[in-house]
Structure 1
Amino acid sequence: MGLYEYPNTPKVHIHDYFEYQDEHFSDTLICTAIEKIEGVDLKVWLAEHGQANSTQLKDWLGQLCEILAVVHEKNLFHRDIKPSNIMIRPDGRLVLIDFGTVRKITNTYIAKLSGPDNKSPIQGATDVTMVRTFGYSPPEQLYGKAMPQSDFYALGRTMIHLATGVHPNNLPDDDDRLSWRDQAESIDLDLADLIDRLCDPIPTERPKNTAEILADLAHPPRKSSPNNRARPFFNSFKFHWMYVGLGIGIAVSLAWGVFYLPQPAEVITSKYHLTQGLSALRVQDLEEAQSSLTEAIRLNPNNEEAHYYLAFVCAESLNYDCAFKHYQKAIELNPQDWENKFALASLYEKLGRNDQAKPLLKSAHEIDPKAPEPLNNLSRLALLNANANEGMKYARQALKLTRRPKMKAIIYKNLGWAAYLQKDPELASQYLNQSIKANQDFPDPYCLLSQIAPTTERKEACISLPSLQPEVRQWRRSIIDDIEKKL
């Protein structure tokens, strides 16, 4: 599918090109007619409607990723994403416009990024046409070194503008990281975390492709975890991209450039179907997601990500044989990816097969000791077996490795649970209240606090907030039994 055939970019056809000779210019102008898009751009929308909410932002971010998936699969990148270059049709569909700055990724371009003709003050920079829209363009684009991940930075800055109603240039920043969340307090924390990842000044810390972003929006287990790790050593010091660090980020990004270089048609089409599957998963169309992911695997049986996400879809559809098969295939294709093993372990936990989950979690932790998720789940398994000391140990290790509020809420709950088993109600209450502070919609800490110091509010929260964990059902049962005894 060419870009001119794609419904969310302006249609352009070969016969729409024409020549024009103006009396004021000696050169003949080569022109084209393009489709007129009905609707307004998002800059106008923002002026008319004010800040966008989380639901709108998730929808728009998903739509734009679907568009960029097609652009990037054609070995192109846009280089000028901003609200005024995004049209919204009357039916709510977005159209990305202004492809005048689009650039093709080629072996020549990759070579230029690190070639000997570098005239920039930054090592690894090169003279590629600079396109910069202040407030939206990433640091590397200042020197004409844009790459597909540069589109993600501009996309994230665009989302911040839409979320806050404030132009990025008018928001406070520290080393190119905007302080914006206090201007958009109603935005979901997970969405805010994703937007900040898109805007990371280091290209290699951004999502590596559109499939990763769509997966975050669809909420399966993340195939590429958000940045919960310790940041690179050079980021622990205050620095300016104009002087240090950028060359390092670009150099590593170039290694990823291979992802965008020409590949066999089956591999490219397989990636397209992977993206389509994740787009369907984003709107909870499990049947369409399964169909697209199955086709991605048919075209490329070694598409590890397609196996991973198909396993998740199968599990959501309660087809556990299918889920086990594809998680195991993903592990076979990449045994050193901790997330493959963690996802399979999580499925075993869901089915109560904890003895099979534990070795996978330990293996995942060995592969990446800085990932908090395996440690957190090991903590829970220890607590289910009333091993409070081991549960406390794992939870304390996990807490040091995450900044995400929802993840902290789960870990603080485990710490409170461990303290409760150790018969230290004061410490347990402190941890459990920390859990609630991090995520007020999490039922587990309310249930445990109801065991320590029951109140009507805690009991109601424990019973009413959604959870599928077996221990929560057990805690709820004790509350209900107590209520029934008093009737």
Structure 2
Amino acid sequence: MKEIKEIGDVEKHYEVLNMFGEGGQGDLFVGRDRSSGQKVALKLQKARDLGPDSVFRSAGEHLRTEGKRMMGLTGIQAIPEVIAMGTHRRRQCLVMEFIEGRQLQNVLLAALPVKDAGTVAAIIGQLCEILAEVHDRNLVHCDLKSENVIVQPDGRLRLIDMGHAVVEGEETDWARGTRGWASPEQSDACPAGRLTRRADIYGLGCILLEMTVMRLPYGGQDERAEEGTPVLPADRLAALPPGFASLALRMVRWEAAERPADVREVFDQLRCYLPQLGSRRPSKPLSPDPTEYYRTHQPRL
């Protein structure tokens, strides 16, 4: 695996500009290469609070681990490239490719629920193509949600934030993901062998439900999901588009073994709804329009 480039003090190489995103694992800034003028994204460890120094050091090591995981995905075009690792005012910092585009959650806000089947299929289909490459490298993303998907101006999707990712099947010692989108098996420490790619299929199913009926399963973010809770309220269940209802409900089954085996199986169920090569745009396209990808490219799965 390619080694991450160590650059020491980030400010010697990159100008740190405006903050544009915030998460539990770090803050995102726009940066500029002082030599080339190239725009980059900087993921910066959270500033130290009043807690012990050991907690701050551990958070820095976690960010470094994320960088190494992302290096293991080098060559997957949909995953941002890691350029270097350094420090900025004692905080660990990842220097990454800057992606032009909008978060999927913001693209969807103007159009929920998404009624065009081709648009729904184009979004989930592209994510299946990306995840197939991630899973083929034995990693599980563990934090699939519309906030972590960027829609580029040409409609191509990119997947960001590997801060919760794990090697498939490895033991985990803390909960991973975001409440509402995280699978039941991610809610606590997970024994070796139990956290598989089916956790990502659950997150993908959550995005599908979010788009079509504007609800997350098992109560969403309101409270921790409990087994036996209805998947959706009756009115939202009735609103599921017939073409996607069976697939969506299988993807978010409580037991991982009852979900589709992999994203290729999900993609095959969506194939008949994908926009055809050379077809017209939807009558009310999203902006940017994710269908453009399949209207100009053959599916890769």
Distance 1:174 1:182, change over 3 A: farther
The answer to whether the Cα contact below 8 Å between 1:163 and 1:184 also exists between their aligned partners in 2 is: no
Alignment-derived partner of residue 244 in structure 2: 191
Alignment-derived partner of residue 18 in structure 1: 85
Mapped to 2, the partners of 1:189 and 1:74 lie a distance apart of 34
Mapped to 1, the partners of 2:153 and 2:237 lie a distance apart of 26
Q: TM-score, normalised by structure 2?
A: 0.58
Alignment-derived partner of residue 408 in structure 1: none
Within the alignment, does 1:51 sit opposite 2:113 as a pair? yes
Alignment-derived partner of residue 51 in structure 2: none
Higher helix share: 1
- Residue 164 of structure 1 deviates from its aligned partner by 2.1
Distance 1:133 1:142, change over 3 A: same
The answer to whether the Cα contact below 8 Å between 1:181 and 1:192 also exists between their aligned partners in 2 is: no
Distance 1:284 1:21, change over 3 A: closer
Alignment-derived partner of residue 68 in structure 2: none
Mapped to 2, the partners of 1:34 and 1:21 lie a distance apart of 14
Alignment-derived partner of residue 479 in structure 1: none
Code of the residue aligned with 1:206 in structure 2: it is R
After superposition, the C-alpha distances for 1:117-147 in whole angstroms (9 at most, x for unaligned) are xxxxxxxxxx523213111111111113332
Which entry has the higher C-alpha Rg, 1 or 2?
1
- Residue 43 of structure 1 deviates from its aligned partner by 1.6
Q: How does 1:36-75 map to 2 (within 5 A)?
A: 36-53=98-115, 54-75=117-138
Distance 1:152 1:42, change over 3 A: same
Alignment-derived partner of residue 139 in structure 1: 184
Mapped to 2, the partners of 1:160 and 1:38 lie a distance apart of 26
Mapped to 1, the partners of 2:181 and 2:262 lie a distance apart of 19
Alignment-derived partner of residue 326 in structure 1: none
Q: TM-score, normalised by structure 1?
A: 0.37
Distance 1:86 1:158, change over 3 A: same
Code of the residue aligned with 1:76 in structure 2: it is L
The answer to whether the Cα contact below 8 Å between 2:113 and 2:213 also exists between their aligned partners in 1 is: yes
Alignment-derived partner of residue 285 in structure 2: none
1:129 to 174, 188, 205: 174
Alignment-derived partner of residue 201 in structure 1: 254
2:77 to 7, 31, 36: 7
Alignment-derived partner of residue 424 in structure 1: none
SS at match of 2:74: helix
Mapped to 2, the partners of 1:185 and 1:42 lie a distance apart of 25
Mapped to 2, the partners of 1:173 and 1:77 lie a distance apart of 23
Distance 1:201 1:39, change over 3 A: same
Code of the residue aligned with 1:18 in structure 2: it is M
Code of the residue aligned with 2:213 in structure 1: it is T
Within the alignment, does 1:210 sit opposite 2:280 as a pair? no
After superposition, the C-alpha distances for 1:151-184 in whole angstroms (9 at most, x for unaligned) are 1111111211111234534699982442267448
Mapped to 2, the partners of 1:19 and 1:132 lie a distance apart of 26
Mapped to 2, the partners of 1:93 and 1:34 lie a distance apart of 18
1:153 to 202, 218, 221: 202
The answer to whether the Cα contact below 8 Å between 1:149 and 1:208 also exists between their aligned partners in 2 is: yes
The answer to whether the Cα contact below 8 Å between 1:38 and 1:89 also exists between their aligned partners in 2 is: yes
1:162 to 191, 211, 228: 211
SS at match of 1:129: coil
* Bigger relative contact order, structure 1 or 2 (CA pairs below 8 A, ≥6 apart): 2
Mapped to 1, the partners of 2:175 and 2:233 lie a distance apart of 27
Q: How does 1:74-473 map to 2 (within 5 A)?
A: 74-105=137-168, 109=170, 112=171, 127-145=172-190, 146-166=195-215, 168-169=220-221, 175-179=228-232, 182-183=235-236, 187-219=240-272
Mapped to 2, the partners of 1:200 and 1:207 lie a distance apart of 9
For this pair of structures, how many residues does the alignment match? 201
The answer to whether the Cα contact below 8 Å between 1:138 and 1:150 also exists between their aligned partners in 2 is: yes
The answer to whether the Cα contact below 8 Å between 1:41 and 1:84 also exists between their aligned partners in 2 is: yes
Distance 1:90 1:164, change over 3 A: same
Mapped to 1, the partners of 2:110 and 2:271 lie a distance apart of 29
SS at match of 1:17: strand
SS at match of 2:97: coil
Mapped to 1, the partners of 2:107 and 2:295 lie a distance apart of 27
Code of the residue aligned with 2:211 in structure 1: it is L
Distance 1:184 1:49, change over 3 A: farther
- Residue 216 of structure 1 deviates from its aligned partner by 1.2
After superposition, the C-alpha distances for 1:195-223 in whole angstroms (9 at most, x for unaligned) are 11100001000011111111111259xxx
Q: Unpaired runs of 5+ in structure 2? A: 1-70, 274-293
The answer to whether the Cα contact below 8 Å between 1:173 and 1:179 also exists between their aligned partners in 2 is: no
Code of the residue aligned with 1:141 in structure 2: it is Q
The answer to whether the Cα contact below 8 Å between 2:213 and 2:239 also exists between their aligned partners in 1 is: no
Alignment-derived partner of residue 93 in structure 2: 31
Q: Aligned residues: percent identity?
A: 28
The answer to whether the Cα contact below 8 Å between 1:177 and 1:199 also exists between their aligned partners in 2 is: no
